[in-house]
Each structure stands twice: as C-alpha cells, then as structure tokens.
Amino acid sequence: MSGIARKGAALGATIGLVAALVPGTAWVAEGIRSTIRGEATNRLESASIGAYVEVVGRDVTLSGADKATLERARDAVRTVPGLGEVTLVPQPDTLPTATPTPTPSATKGTPRPTASPTPTPTPSGPLPSVNAILFPGSSAKLPASAVPEVERLVALLRSRPDARVTLAGHTDSGRTQNVRVALGQERADAVAQALVQRGIPASRITTTSEADRLPVASNASAEGRAQNRRVSVTLSSGNG
C-alpha cells in the first residue's frame, strides 16, 4: 500500500473513533451532572434547607433563598463527590415596610383627686360593768334566763372593738375542791361558747375558774349559794 493510501486509512479510522466516542462522552457528562444535583438536593432536604439547585457541568448554583440560608446550603453540599464551584444567588432583600405613624390619642383630663374617707373613730372611755350570769345547782349548762344578759354583753363587745372580756366561773362550797374547779371552768366555757356563736372572736375572750374562792354571799343559806353559782364578767380595753 502506498504512503498516501496508508494516511487516508488512518484518517478514516480516527474520524470513526471520534464519531463513536462523542455520544458516549455526552452521556457520561449528563450522568455526573444528574448525580451531583440529586445528591445536593437530598442533602438540602435532609437539613430542611429550602434552596434551588442548578448544576452546569460540575459547578452548582444555589438560589431561591436569603444569603444566610444559602450559606447553610453551601456548607451542606460542599462535600458532594465530584462537585466543582458553588455559586450563591440570594433573593433580593425585602424592602422595609414603612411604620405607620400612630394616631395621637386624646389626652385624658387629669382625674380629680378622691377624698380619702375619714376613718371612724374607735369608741373610747370607761367600759361599763356587766351583771354576773347565774347557773342553777351543779349545772354548767347556760340557762335560758341568762340569754338576755349574754345578748347585752355581745352588743357591748360589738360596739367596743377594743374591749376584751374575762369570764370567771364560780361555785358554791359544796362538793370537793377538784369538782368545784372543774365546774367553774365549765360554766365560764359555756358563756364563752355562747359569745363565739354570736360572732365574738375567741381571741377576745379569756376564761378561768375561781371555784368557791370568791363568794359574793354566804354559802350557809340557799339564797347565798344561788348567788355564788355564777360567771362573773370583767371588761378591759385591749389597749390597756
């Protein structure tokens, strides 16, 4: 074969080889681009980053979000195998919205000062004396005949919030000393309970038993013993 023939055959083979390789080269490039786009998109979705991915060759353009979001997107995709350059195209900043000028409200007039109520003065002065409350026999039950005196005492204590009351239970000289002490206390407690039931605070009441130590009459007669079976009432000022 002549030299010219050999050169012609070689040129034809080269042209055929190029023709055969070009379609394959385009297919490989498209596969790489598709792989990069798919991997980048998956990483952004996994990181919950909303950005659009565009691939040209091996280079990626990220867009569709603000600059800070796109910077996060770049960090997420920068290690994708085969990735080239990464370009960020942030969305334009939103124009600031003008703050509406507040409408001036009518100035309310200065409120008129309210006069402070004059405190009601607490009653003062000497406290009145209160009759003793009598009990029958050896009983500690408050008799019905004593209710008017109890009501009077309640009214007096309500009118004098500063007053305190001491109730002392007394007995005649019958029975033993221990019984007399206990009976005197029970009588004082019975009157105290009647006061509390009518709204007088227990903190204003003191009870004690004097038994037969302070008789007001002789225990030698029935009349004297009846006067000794009593609860004496003593009022005092809470400020005193």
pLDDT digits (tens, 9 = 90+) for 216-225: 999 999 999 9
User: Which of 3-12, 84-93, 105-114, 187-196 is modeled with the greatest confidence?
Assistant: 187-196
pLDDT of residue 175: 93
Closest CA to 153 of 139, 142, 140, 137: 142
Residue 116 predicted with pLDDT over 80:
no
More reliable by pLDDT, 166 or 24: 166
According to DSSP, residue 65 is labeled: S
Sheet holding 205-211, edge to edge: 133-134, 230-237, 163-170, 205-211
pLDDT confidence of 32, banded at 50, 70, 90?
confident
Residues 185-197 pLDDT 10s: 999 999 999 999 9
Q: Is 154 in contact with 197 (CB distance < 8 Å)?
A: no
Band (pLDDT 50/70/90 cuts) for residue 31 is confident
Average pLDDT over residues 208-219: 97
**pLDDT winner (highest mean) among 33-47, 123-137, 180-194:** 180-194
Q: Which of 44-48, 113-117, 137-141, 158-162 has the lowest mean pLDDT?
A: 113-117
Q: Is the dihedral of CA 91, 95, 96, 99 positive or negative?
A: negative
Share of the chain above pLDDT 90, in %: 50
Burial 8-25 (b: 16+ CB within 10 A, else e): eeeeeeeeeeeeeeeeee
Across 92-101, 111-120, 149-158, 175-184, least confident range = 92-101
Q: What is the pLDDT of residue 15?
A: 39
Give the C-alpha separation, 205 to 210, whole Å: 16
Q: Tell me what pLDDT residue 171 has.
A: 98
Q: What's residue 207's pLDDT?
A: 98
43 pLDDT higher than 60: yes
Residue 172 predicted with pLDDT over 60: yes
Give per-residue burial for 104-113: e unless 16+ CB within 10 Å, then b. eeeeeeeeee
pLDDT at residue 79, rounded to an integer: 92
The proportion of the chain whose per-residue pLDDT surpasses 70, expressed as a percent, equals 74
Beta bridge partner(s), residue 166: 206, 234
**pLDDT the model gives residue 114:** 65
Q: Which domains does the chain have, with CATH numbers?
A: 3-89 (3.30.70), 133-237 (3.30.1330.60)
pLDDT tier for residue 28 given thresholds of 50, 70 and 90: low
